[in-house]
Structures are given as structure tokens and as C-alpha cells.
Amino acid sequence: DTGVSQNPRHKITKRGQNVTFRCDPISEHNRLYWYRQTLGQGPEFLTYFQNEAQLEKSRLLSDRFSAERPKGSFSTLEIQRTEQGDSAMYLCASSLGAPPNTGELFFGEGSRLTVL
Amino acid sequence: EDQVTQSPEALRLQEGESSSLNCSYTVSGLRGLFWYRQDPGKGPEFLFTLYSAGEEKEKERLKATLTKKESFLHITAPKPEDSATYLCAVQAGTGANSKLTFGKGITLSVRP
């Protein structure tokens, strides 16, 4: 399968613990995005990378959130000191990034986080 | 701030009963409007991109149209497998901005 891969698919943690999600994009895609989706809502933009450079971050992304994309390949999203409000589906997407097609994102199946 | 409003929130159709889903938007400098389909527990799946008013795109039983204020996703003779949540998103602004702003989605149920 050559689609976007996310791990783990489900994570249950206790409040205050740290969690890390991994995303492997489609291999030839140079742009990688993280979105968050809660029940009954559309995805909300968190951050995006072009190759290894993090080019944009949402105001939603507090200091407890950090994302990296070393070497412009896979990406990790870490949440420190989790709170119950962090419970959501974390979606990764990738795109080729060549205008005007920068919005045609290919999403993974998501990593669902439950904070107890 | 970019805003996307989708209506209705939910729609129940009988198989073969055609209908339309609405997406109204308020943005500064629309670069593209996108429709995605999302099945329960899965990530969104890309359907269409529309770039300018008057543009139309078709795929099987789906047809997307765009005006300066809204987009419609027309579903002709739907089948139960068309049941899903349909998300509308806009990309706006200039330069390197790649952020998509999504609406809440419309949950479509098609009864056999």
C-alpha cells in the first residue's frame, strides 16, 4: 500500500502523560500536514512542512505540541502533558505541493487519542 | 478569518432520490474549494477541486459546482454506498499558505 500511513491507530493515555504519533507520507510528496478532528467537526489545521521545514503553525498548536519532519520524510507529532481536551483524531496528510494543486491532500486513516 | 458553513448537517435520502449539499464560504482571496468524502473511522478522501466561479466537476453520481459565495455537491440517483460525511474546504490567501479550512461536514445516509 503506497498511501499515507499513521501509527499508532489508537492511543489511550492518562492525563499528564506524553504521547507521540508517527506519519509516513506518500513517498514522492514533499508537503506534509497535521490536522485534528473532534466528533462532529471538520478537520482543523495544526501545522505543515515542506520537506523538512515547518512553514506554518496554527494558533491551536500550544507549546505542549511539537512536530518534526527530519530529513523531509516521516513526521512525528508529540503532545506533552496531555489534557482531556487533547482527545481527538489526529490526521496526517501529504501532497505534491505544486501549485495550483496544493490543496489536494491525501489523508491517512488517523491516530485516535483518548486522554483519561 | 476564513469561514465555511455546510448545510444541512444531516440528510437522509431514499436510494435514487437526487439532492444537493450546500457549502457557503467567506474568504479573502479564494485559491480553491475542495470536496472530500469521509467514511466513519477513516481519513477524508479527496473528491474535487474547484478554482473559479462557474466551474463544474463530475465524478460518477457526483457533480460539484462553484459560485462566488457557495458550492453545491449534487448527488444524482444515490446508492447506499454513497452514505458518508461530505466535507467542504477552502484554501485562501497568497504566497505559501497551504492551510485548508474545513466545514463541519454533511452526513448523508442513503436507504435502500
Asked whether residue A9 carries a pLDDT value surpassing 90, the answer given is: yes
Reading phi first (left if > 0) and then psi (alpha if -120 to 50, else beta), residue A32 is in beta
For residue range B56-109, what is the model confidence (pLDDT) as tens digits? 999 999 999 999 999 999 999 999 999 999 999 998 876 666 788 999 999 999
A115 touches chain B (CB under 8 A): no
Q: What is the pLDDT of residue A102?
A: 66
Phi-psi region of B95 (alpha: psi -120 to 50; beta: other; left: phi over 0): left
B45 touches chain A (CB under 8 A): yes
* pLDDT at residue number B29: 85
CA atoms of B67 and A59, how far apart (whole Å): 30
Could you tell me how many CB contacts below 8 A there are between chain A and chain B? 69
Say if residues A45 and A59 touch (Cβ distance below 8 Å). no
Is B52 in the A-facing interface, judged by CB distances under 8 Å?
no
What is the C-alpha to C-alpha distance for residues B3 and A103, in angstroms, rounded to an integer?
A: 16
Mean pLDDT (chain A) is 92
Per-residue pLDDT at A24 exceeds 80: yes
For residue range A45-75, list pLDDT tens digits in order: 999 999 999 988 998 788 999 999 998 899 9
